[in-house]
Amino acid sequence: MPLREIKQALWLGFLCAALSVAAPGSVLKVPDEYSTIQQAIDSAEAGDEILVAPGLYQETLTIATDDLRLSGSGAGKTIVDGMGRQVALRLYDAARVRIAGFAFRNASVLVYGYHTSDIILAHNEFQGAILNGVWFDQSRRRPAHQLISNRFLNNQWGVYSLADWGGGEVFYAITGNEFVSNRYGIWLDSTAKFRVDGNLILSSEGIGLLINWNNLGSAVLRNVIVNCGVGLYIVEQDDEFPDAQTAPRRHSVARPTKIYHNTLDQNGIALSLKLPEGFPYDIANNIVTVHGVLGSKEGAA
């Protein structure tokens, strides 16, 4: 083949590849085009968006496709009922998935992510989970899970994160959410790096925000924690929690967690730290008011 024809063939191949990458994904509509959400998920490809109309959808869902958007019509309009099953929505080995505008209810765990990365949950409601509203387990290295402007109501745990995959620098951003009447609001266990910023945590019978082994310079900023058994609890070792449960031993905290500009009001114990002697932590400009007791390295004072 002459050199000119080879160049033309290569150019055409490159152009086709570029166009295929740039092409926008399809929009799949439920129930107009698919009778169930899962049918739409099974038909979707990377880059697609699934639009779900208002209604009650009694089904359990599994997503194992990357680069997918699942969009409801609003938490008060589009409801996923897990029918009392173990998990309402399961994310398995998926990356770059955005889920927004749903109410999830009636399952032991409402959203469960295993070996996932870059998951965004925004403007959803998670209510009445026997166990977890949202549970991330064995997340991949260097994802950036984001929980933005969600509501967590009457769950055992609002958000629970356990063990990052391979000990990588996994980042969580939990911002602008409301946690109301959960036994535990946020529980970060063996989570490498996070930013918990601007959340309202109200009336947790147990603990508002619990951190067990984290590192890499995490931050707890501008949260309002009110009327909880314990407002903020940080532990790095086996020890009894203030509500008589036990924290498993993980690893030591590598860098100090910054705790700035939080308001802790009307909690049984405002802040309790269980850290090694001389461990550096950075706490500044927080407000502790009304019946709160400030903890120490040895627990509540």
pLDDT tens sequence across 99-114: 999 999 999 999 999 9
CB 78 within 8 A of CB 102: yes
Structural domains present in the chain: 28-300 (2.160.20.10)
- Mean pLDDT, the chain, rounded, equals 83
Closest CA to 194 of 222, 166, 164, 217: 217
**CA distances for 34 relative to 45, 168, 171, angstroms:** 15, 39, 35
Mean pLDDT across 50-60 = 99
Q: How confident is the model at residue 144 (pLDDT cuts 50, 70, 90)?
A: confident
Mean pLDDT across 70-83 = 98
Q: What is the C-alpha separation between 152 and 17, in angstroms, rounded?
A: 43
Q: What is the C-alpha separation between 25 and 55, in angstroms, rounded?
A: 25
CB neighbourhood size of 5 (10 A):
9
Choice between 10 and 230, residue whose per-residue pLDDT is larger: 230
pLDDT tens sequence across 115-127: 888 999 999 999 9
Residue 165's SS3 state is: helix
Task: For CA atoms 44, 39, 64, 109, give the dihedral sign.
Answer: positive
Q: What is the C-alpha separation between 18 and 192, in angstroms, rounded?
A: 37
Question: Residue 21 corresponds to which tokens in the numbers above?
Answer: 């990458």
Rounded to two decimals, what is the model's pTM? 0.83
